[in-house]
Structure 1
Amino acid sequence: MADNGGMTLLERGSALASLAEYARQALAGDGRLVLVGGEAGVGKSSLVEAFAASVAPARVAWGMCDGLSTPRPLGPLFDIADELGGELLERVRGRASRDELFAALLRQANEPGRLHVLVLEDLHWADEATIDLLRFLARRLRSAHLLLIVTYRDDDLSTRDLLRGLLGDVATLRTTRRIGLAPLSLRAVEELAGASGLEAAQLHRLTGGNPFFVTEVVRSGSTAVPASARDVVLARTGTLGREARAVLGTAALIGNRVDPRLLTAASGAAPAVLDELVRCGLLIGDDGHLTFRHELTRLAVEQAIPQHRVAPIHTRILAALRDLGSDGRRATQALPVEAQAAGDGFARLAYHAEAAGDGAAVLEYAVKAARRASELASHREAGAQYERALRFADVLPPAELAELYDALADELSLVDRGPRVCQVAERARELWHRAGDRRREGDALRRLSSALRYDCRGADAVRAAEAALATLEPLGPTAELAWAHAALATHRMVSERHEEAIAVAARAQELAVALELQAVRADALITEGCSRAIVGGDWVTPMRRGLDIALAHGIDEQVGRAYINLHGMHCTKREYAQAEQYFRAGTAYCDEHDVRTFGTCIRAERVSTLAATDRWDESLDLSRHVLANAMSASPLNRIGPLACVGVIRARRGTAGVWEPLDEAARYADGCEGPQYILYVRAARAEAYWLEGRIDEARREAELAADAAADGDEWARGEAGAWLRRTGSGRVTSPVHAEPYRLELDGRWAGAAAAWEQIGSAYEAALVRLFHGDEPAQREALSVLDDLGAAAAARASRRRMRQDGVRGVPVGPRAATRAHPAGLTRREREVLELICAGHTNGEIAQRLFIAVKTVDHHVSAVLGKLGVANRSSAAKEAVRLGIGV
């Protein structure tokens, strides 16, 4: 079908046909993102190369992700700019912002009437900015004339990989397609073996059908099949002369895409030697560059270099890069555009400098690389470069060293590395103190206070914030003082001292206006809005104003914070429809701008909304995602997911309830925020009640009430409800949100209806169970069975018997167990009405339940039937013989 370096491309016809179809769709203005996954050596690049050769006159541009220890930020975009030229190239050379680069690429690659194909290879090595670029493009493909193809290894992705998160985010987009490449069959291996004399079955067994391994073995011509790919590759290098092997080793340390001028300068190679390497097939000429035919080839060559020779080779590469101008001190036209974009050139220089052991060069280039990575919102890579610089920074005076620690703390705070931020911020404070710079020491204390808050060290955080203000106030009005007021306002707000928070935030705004500090102004407005949401009054206006300022000035951190708090406050007030818009906008922004701390935070809040609206499976899935991607993250962002996992398990009666609830309690108790304590203690009260441990449940409810004392009407209401349910004699303030007020006033029917209107059938069931008459309790039991809340249903049966109810059903109803789709009685009633063509509103009227409850039942029915919509449900019901 196609040729791959002299070997036939086999068993890829279906994949090629799919790519051709996606190309036709993209040409028609219905863009596609194609994820091509498979193990190393399975032929991902060969497939895409064969496809690219067949789609002329489409414009195809390629970008590569490097396997460097710290990837070059937006390296693939720079590669593509080098090929496309035009506006994108101009903006790269002009060091445009990341958003401008993204937009320019989309404009240039979206030309009506012409197909553009962008290929990004080896995405498993991508930096965060490149991952964000993919998110940006993926969300805008629906009306684009663009085919976006990415290749990646799928055999060793961990749950914490950046790529894993991206794959989950884009999986549900209508424009996304997947192509998975499997190893070759025995028949294909037989064809590749051809007349080599190798026994095909043995070859297939030893290579696992991996096309690269098969090809290398066949190329070696050896009848004794080597046991590893490394041996296969090195067997081929054995035919080279000594000089050619040395040059090949230098090329392997440069990377997977090699400029011949750089290789010649670093190795002293004659042109004939490069010709020899290309002739033998180990290197391939590629648009003015040399590339290894496969990354496995490069790695095998690299690993074979004696360790004592590695540093000297890197030293020569570093010197050659400097001479060719990638550090900006000589003519930049000597290298391609990715080196002209200083961030990429400095990242390469820093990498080779560290490998060479050149501390002075590391300090110079790693810091420059970090700054450029930060400009491109590749904050993880920026942090890694600052960490690299600090490994060689002991020679610096305290003030210069403190500057590096400050910068590192800022980067790590954006990517949710909470515990490490505390260490770095404290080190910066110590160094500024040693340097005698009170202004910078005060600013470091402010930075430390924020890190301590995310680390759930609330008392320490408040002390640091107060110390920052005390240190800076005698120095007069400065930017650092404005930030200190803004930080303290946040701490006062989190501590439920809202009037103080509003006053301190006002002072921060005054200084921000006078000093023209838009970020401080946005931050203080957001804090003011949070506090006004609790004490009453117009809270949306200041918070939206803060968001608008942050968006207008590209202040990513404050944009993220505004979205989180707009979402969170609407959730606190159970205004879930309004919260939804901010969740969507907030996650998209935080993901595309690499503000991981806030992206994690808004998802951590989302799990609570899902749990509160009976979407328990979704809540658990998102909780696992957040926790898996936050192993080294801020404890503050773990509280919500941990509590949700624990309480949902408790409701269902499954194992593993107390481990997450205990961890959540440890974090919450260390916080300065009573709202976290309330949330966790209420969850624990419910879990104890479900187990029949009423004394423990009562103690947790009273701790929740302590935390809710200065909270809003929803906080006081939740605490008051659990005090009543657990038999505590304590009471909370009489000002409660409506569902709780109705419950505590004895108007249980109205309370249950209010919960159903909000969208929580579970909460409505609890109200009916605790306060309703016998029919209401039976209805509650039915709902809990329908929800799969086995432990809650058992607790309901226990309470009903205590209340003297006779004939309480024992366990799930036999009708549910016997039903062919596992539907409950209520779900079958809903299905029958679906089959009859009724809307959710009509079903609610017929069954005398809330529309929100019907929504829940419809979702459950679709899930149990394994269908996506109502018409499919009706067809499946007929097939199973359970429809009308």
Structure 2
Amino acid sequence: MLANPARTERGLLRKEGEYWTVGYGGRVFRLKDTKGLAYLAQLLRSPGTDVHALDLVGDTADHSESREDEANQFAAALPQSDEELESAGIHVGGLGDAGEVLDEPAKAAYRRRLAELRAEVAEAKRLDQFARAEQAEEEIEALLAELSRAVGLGGRDRRAASAAERARQSVNRALKTVLKRIAEQEPALGALLVHCIKTGTCCSYTPDPSFPITWQVEVALRDGTTAPPERLRSSSPLDPKRADKGIIAAGEFLVPQRSSAHRTPFVGREAEGDQVRTLVDQALLGRGSFVLLNGGAGIGKTRLAMEIAEYASRQGFQILLGHCYEREPHPYMPFVEMVEMALAQAQNLERFRQTLGDHAAELAQMMPSLRRVFPDIPPLELPAQQARHCLFQSLTVLLAREAHRVPQFLMVDDLQWAEECTLALLTHLAHRVAQLPVVIVGTYRDNDLDRNPALVRTLDELIRTGFPALKLQGLSYEAVAQLLQDLSHREPPPHLVRVIFEETQGNPFFLEEMYKHLVEEGKIFDTTGQFRVDLRVDEVDVPDNVSLVLGRRLDQLNEKARQVLGAAAVIGRSFSFPVLESLLEQKKTEDLLTALEEAQRMGLIVPRAEGPEALFTFAHELVRQTLLAGFALPRRQRLHLQVAEAIERVHAGAVHERAGEIAHHLVKAGSLADIKKLVHYLALAEKHGLEAAAYEDALRQFQPALSHGDAIDSRQRAHLLSDLATAERGLGK
């Protein structure tokens, strides 16, 4: 008896102006036009046919008349002859050499266009023309991606691949992105298309006989109308007044790059995520909040906060992120980073200066570099008792002012390392956002509290006064299974889930690191690419201590890269390329760049931001600690001394701003450090703390400075004692 044939579904993919209508299984939804949808349409039109990536790109260009016209106009202005090309700095290689991704004239043209687009975004938002602003922002994002693709570490120009390879990369990336967008709207259709679409140099759509679909693919003529975009999801209704003002329109979301580099799929945390998302929704109605996320190292505190930040960004919030470090180089470091991020997002410097208004002088206490950007900031001379109060009040006023313009989402990460002055400012703001469209999220490790008594006192006050603290536990067995499925792109066998769950207790970071290690060791997949069936608990040679797992991953680095990364670990969780280069001055710059690129490819470090300092951050503190554990104490002390000297060389013109960092490394250098130099930098650091009204930081510098009595003359002691009295008065002692 023959089985009943599978029922044929009808599928719809129709382009209407700037949007595509997608229909399947009785459900219809709309997606904004992208190249990936055009590529998908071509594949669906020709089931079972291999289409070269170059043909896909070419056909898509042919079907976009407006883009073709723009391209023709742009091409007409370009140099044509070989002589004109050479004079313009454009060099044409052979078929196997595509040259630089972007030469200098091209990069300059991109930057000019970026300036024009940012001005256009500002004007469009001022006129409430959000569709126009969105289109310009998409072009900005594309241009920034091209600039980033064209420049490697240390500012080196990257070489372009061949035309076919570039087309393959572009098409594959576009198709995978659009399939993910479809899966977000209709998971069943997304999963089916992922199964049926083959990507590569040649792409194809091969229908699944078990789930037959008859596709209707159409491209409607433009009629001057625009379909409405996808609606934002929210667990509570939005204020219509805010919607009318465009406050819920998704704003530009700029975050440190470490937050989005090769992130693990996000699973679990439904209850915690819903709770914090509710706070975001309530903030849109003017009911602000402050919440704390805590748990052990690698449990996913930062990741959950970042997922909520992305949700808030889609609701129109401005996102400002700040991080605490085991040794903060400056007082109020996370808030300094937030101001820097706000400055980077500002439409122009003049607008940002107007926002600061009369509070610029107070902010310059916390962030002296503002005076270099805005030389007109006046000096501020206040008694010690008033300086901190004015700083805190100024930040509160500025936050309230900006929040009434656009809702604010502030995230302070790794509070277990926060300085006392940072905690005092955070507490001050937490008590003042209840009537503002503001959400503040703080994260901390609850197993490191004994190292920071100031945080214990702060938490006691905040929790006692009603601010929630959410403790994250390990992922459930089911969530571990889902995460392994997302990592391996296939259903994991129960025995593998059990082994990983038992060894990691659901810690997402440990889980991912163990999975990577077992894959690299050939423990999970056999030679045919299938899951091994003979994996047993007693055969897992990964020890309980995750630092050993990381150590084995680090062993995959070549010796030169391991040495470079070890030196970077001594500098700190974050390190700049100029300081690393000065520290390892005996090594060639090319070797340093190659080592960093290798570490970045392995996911051990991530770039924090573009800029003159070329900052990098270790992907996890445990990576850095594992590297440090490989050094004997005398070698670590010698390296700390050399780091202090390297910082002095690199920042010779602003050494007073780095006094805290230099003093920290000299203290770590132990007996190798020159006592007089140590006392000098300790005194500079406490002076900087006084000027920034960070009195706790200043007091902490006094004790080691005064303890070296033999290296201090009577005049220095008198100055230190005078400053000590000033700091104590500032704290009301």
Superposition TM-score, scaled by structure 2 size: 0.51
Map 1:827-866 onto structure 2 (within 5 A): none
Matching residue within 434, 439, 454 for 1:162: 454
Shift of 1:118: 1.4
The corresponding residue for 2:290 is: 33
Q: 1:158 to 1:320 in 2, by over 3 A?
A: closer
The corresponding residue for 1:129 is: 421
Letter of the structure 2 residue corresponding to residue 312 of structure 1: R
Shift of 1:306: 2.8
Q: 1:82 to 1:374 in 2, by over 3 A?
A: same
The corresponding residue for 2:470 is: 179
Separation in 1 of the partners of 2:438 and 2:652? 32
Shift of 1:396: 2.8
Q: 1:386 to 1:3 in 2, by over 3 A?
A: closer
Q: Does 1:63 align with 2:291?
A: no
Separation in 2 of the partners of 1:373 and 1:108? 23
Q: Does 1:148 align with 2:440?
A: yes
User: Could you say what secondary structure the match of 2:268 adopts?
Assistant: coil
Matching residue within 543, 547, 566 for 1:226: 543
Map 1:171-320 onto structure 2 (within 5 A): 171-173=463-465, 176-194=467-485, 195=488, 199-221=496-518, 222=521, 223=523, 224-268=541-585, 269=589, 270-288=592-610, 289-320=615-646
Contact 2:416 2:448 in 1 (8 A): no
Letter of the structure 2 residue corresponding to residue 121 of structure 1: D
Q: Does 1:366 align with 2:658?
A: no
Matching residue within 680, 696, 705 for 1:380: 696
Q: Does 1:354 align with 2:667?
A: yes
Separation in 2 of the partners of 1:160 and 1:233? 26
Letter of the structure 2 residue corresponding to residue 132 of structure 1: A
Shift of 1:405: 4.9
Give the number of the structure whose alpha-carbon radius of gyration is greater.
Answer: 1
Separation in 2 of the partners of 1:372 and 1:226? 45
Shift of 1:347: 0.9
Separation in 2 of the partners of 1:3 and 1:131? 27
- Structure 1 unmatched ranges of 5 or more: 330-341, 415-554, 557-593, 598-884
Separation in 2 of the partners of 1:22 and 1:296? 32
1:139-187 Cα distance to aligned partner (Å, 9 max, x none): 111222221111011134249821122122222546x333221111222
- Structure 2 unmatched ranges of 5 or more: 1-183, 185-258, 344-351, 372-378, 381-386, 524-540
Q: 1:6 to 1:33 in 2, by over 3 A?
A: closer
Separation in 1 of the partners of 2:666 and 2:474? 39
By percentage of residues, which structure has more helix?
A: 1
Separation in 1 of the partners of 2:454 and 2:281? 30
Separation in 2 of the partners of 1:310 and 1:160? 24
The corresponding residue for 2:75 is: none
Separation in 2 of the partners of 1:241 and 1:192? 30
Shift of 1:316: 3.0
Separation in 1 of the partners of 2:652 and 2:265? 39
Q: 1:49 to 1:266 in 2, by over 3 A?
A: farther
1:696-748 Cα distance to aligned partner (Å, 9 max, x none): xxxxxxxxxxxxxxxxxxxxxxxxxxxxxxxxxxxxxxxxxxxxxxxxxxxxx
By percentage of residues, which structure has more strand?
A: 2
Contact 2:299 2:473 in 1 (8 A): yes
Query: Superposition RMSD on alpha carbons, in Å?
Result: 2.9
User: Could you say what secondary structure the match of 1:29 adopts?
Assistant: coil
The corresponding residue for 2:333 is: 75
Letter of the structure 1 residue corresponding to residue 618 of structure 2: F
Separation in 2 of the partners of 1:209 and 1:311? 37
Q: 1:358 to 1:209 in 2, by over 3 A?
A: farther
Shift of 1:403: 4.0
Contact 2:312 2:409 in 1 (8 A): no
Q: 1:39 to 1:349 in 2, by over 3 A?
A: same
Contact 1:27 1:113 in 2 (8 A): no
Contact 1:36 1:44 in 2 (8 A): yes
User: Could you say what secondary structure the match of 1:55 adopts?
Assistant: helix
Q: 1:132 to 1:326 in 2, by over 3 A?
A: farther
Q: 1:21 to 1:250 in 2, by over 3 A?
A: same
Q: How many residues align?
A: 402
Shift of 1:90: 4.9
1:663-715 Cα distance to aligned partner (Å, 9 max, x none): xxxxxxxxxxxxxxxxxxxxxxxxxxxxxxxxxxxxxxxxxxxxxxxxxxxxx
User: Could you say what secondary structure the match of 1:104 adopts?
Assistant: helix
1:296-321 Cα distance to aligned partner (Å, 9 max, x none): 22222222223232233223322332
Q: 1:252 to 1:365 in 2, by over 3 A?
A: same
Superposition TM-score, scaled by structure 1 size: 0.42
The corresponding residue for 1:769 is: none
Separation in 1 of the partners of 2:277 and 2:268? 16
Separation in 2 of the partners of 1:275 and 1:391? 43
Separation in 2 of the partners of 1:140 and 1:237? 46
1:585-605 Cα distance to aligned partner (Å, 9 max, x none): xxxxxxxxx44x5xxxxxxxx
Shift of 1:375: 3.7
Q: 1:102 to 1:262 in 2, by over 3 A?
A: farther
1:610-651 Cα distance to aligned partner (Å, 9 max, x none): xxxxxxxxxxxxxxxxxxxxxxxxxxxxxxxxxxxxxxxxxx
Separation in 1 of the partners of 2:456 and 2:269? 25
User: Could you say what secondary structure the match of 1:147 adopts?
Assistant: strand
Matching residue within 264, 267, 278 for 1:10: 267
Contact 1:71 1:126 in 2 (8 A): no
Shift of 1:365: 1.3
Separation in 2 of the partners of 1:278 and 1:249? 14
Separation in 1 of the partners of 2:261 and 2:323? 19
Matching residue within 102, 106, 109 for 2:396: 106
Shift of 1:207: 2.0
Separation in 1 of the partners of 2:577 and 2:310? 24
Shift of 1:249: 1.5
User: Could you say what secondary structure the match of 2:502 adopts?
Assistant: helix
Q: 1:287 to 1:382 in 2, by over 3 A?
A: same
Q: Provide the identity percentage.
A: 26
Contact 1:8 1:192 in 2 (8 A): yes
User: Could you say what secondary structure the match of 2:469 adopts?
Assistant: strand
